[in-house]
Amino acid sequence: MKKILLIIAVIIVAVTSCTTPNVTYFNDMKNSQNEAIKHVLDIRLRPDDKLTIVVKSQDQRLSELFNLAIYQQRVGSTTGSSQYMSGYTVDSQGNIDFPVLGQLHVAGMMREEVAKLIKDELINRKQINDPHVTVEYANFSVDVMGEVNKPGRYQFDRDHITLLDALSMAGDLTIFGQRDSVKVIRANGFTNQTTYVVNLQRGDELYASPAFYLQQNDVIYVAPNDYRARQSTINGNNVRSTSFWISIASLAASLTSVIYMIVK
């Protein structure tokens, strides 16, 4: 009886070492199930953020006074080029220096609030009677790192970007990414940061997380799961190396020898 139990234990250890990881999302969610999003975060301007601001009116000459120059940017080594407008950088005091209007405090504002501020100032100061002001983000981006198919820095031009949006742009997690502990690292000013751990396998936890909606310059890190970690050892062995397969063969031979000795 003891021999049989020992054999079963050896087999269990061998099998569990090769367990297939759980790679599904939203395991707790059912058809027509509603989940409340508890932290709907708006993008509010901070120092070092960049904006493009365009002012239009029926009088084109007046509009040009308030718009920065448009530059031609060469694309790669080809002869093609693209246009881009120089932007406004929010300074350390939370201000931008706008033509004619001077210093405007915009820190803590959303972009539509900045557009309304500029429009009201232009009208109140009798600069333009019919201004139409458009404000866009010039550097709203996040970093996606780790076990995703296309890691990199991704830029957005709209509000309310979610963690799922960023991961989709990065080509989704690889089969080896930990779906139950995705980290979102968020800067709070220049000296502090907060790390959120998000479980993509549970919709209730995902939608309740403060990291569901991203902020500018968030860093998303997807750690490798245990299966991936076992593929790389201290001496650099992995599933593609000869030494890895030699180790597997040695382990199999040892297990066979142990089982034979037990049965015998």
Q: Phi first, then psi: what are they for 153, rounded to 5°?
A: -105, 125
CB 261 within 8 A of CB 2: no
Bigger pLDDT: 190 vs 89? 89
- Give percent above pLDDT 70 in the chain: 71
55 in the same domain as 179: no
End of a domain among 87, 116, 137? 137
173 in the same domain as 121: no
133 in the same domain as 144: no
165 in the same domain as 37: yes
Q: What is the pLDDT of residue 106?
A: 97
End of a domain among 91, 120, 137? 137
* Local structure of 186: helix, strand or coil: strand
241 in the same domain as 145: yes
Q: Phi first, then psi: what are they for 197, rounded to 5°?
A: -110, 120
Phi-psi region of 233 (alpha: psi -120 to 50; beta: other; left: phi over 0): beta
How far apart are the C-alpha atoms of 179 and 163, rounded to whole Å? Answer: 12
Report which residue type is found at 12.
I
Going from the C-alpha of 27 to that of each of 22, 36, 60, 220, the distances in angstroms are: 10, 17, 56, 22
In a domain, 78, yes or no: yes
99 in the same domain as 67: yes
End of a domain among 101, 121, 137? 137
236 in the same domain as 118: no
Q: What is the pLDDT of residue 120?
A: 96
Q: DSSP string spanning 8-40?
A: HHHHHHHHHTTPPPP--S-TT--TT--------
102 in the same domain as 162: no
Mean pLDDT, residues 27-54:
85
76 in the same domain as 111: yes
Give me the number of domains the chain comprises. Answer: 2
Most confident of 70-79, 81-90, 232-241: 81-90
Domain with 185 in it: what CATH number? 3.10.560.10
Q: Phi first, then psi: what are they for 168, rounded to 5°?
A: -65, -40
241 in the same domain as 144: yes
Mean pLDDT, residues 145-168:
93
CB neighbour list of residue 8: distance below 8 Å, 6 or more residues apart: none
150 in the same domain as 38: yes
Q: Where are the alpha helices (DSSP H) in the chain?
A: 2-16, 60-64, 111-124, 163-169, 203-208, 226-230, 242-263
Domain with 93 in it: what CATH number? 3.30.1950.10
81 in the same domain as 206: no
CB 185 within 8 A of CB 193: yes
Instruction: Tell me the per-residue pLDDT of 96-130, one tens digit each, with 9 for 90 and over.
Output: 999 999 999 999 999 999 999 999 999 999 999 99
Bigger pLDDT: 73 vs 133? 133
Q: What is the DSSP letter of 139?
A: S
Domain containing 66 equals 50-137
pLDDT exceeds cutoff 50 at 160: yes
Is the CA virtual torsion 239, 243, 247, 252 positive or negative?
positive
Radius of gyration of the chain (CA): 28
Q: What is the pLDDT of residue 26?
A: 79
The β-bridge relationship of strands 141-146 and 219-222 is parallel
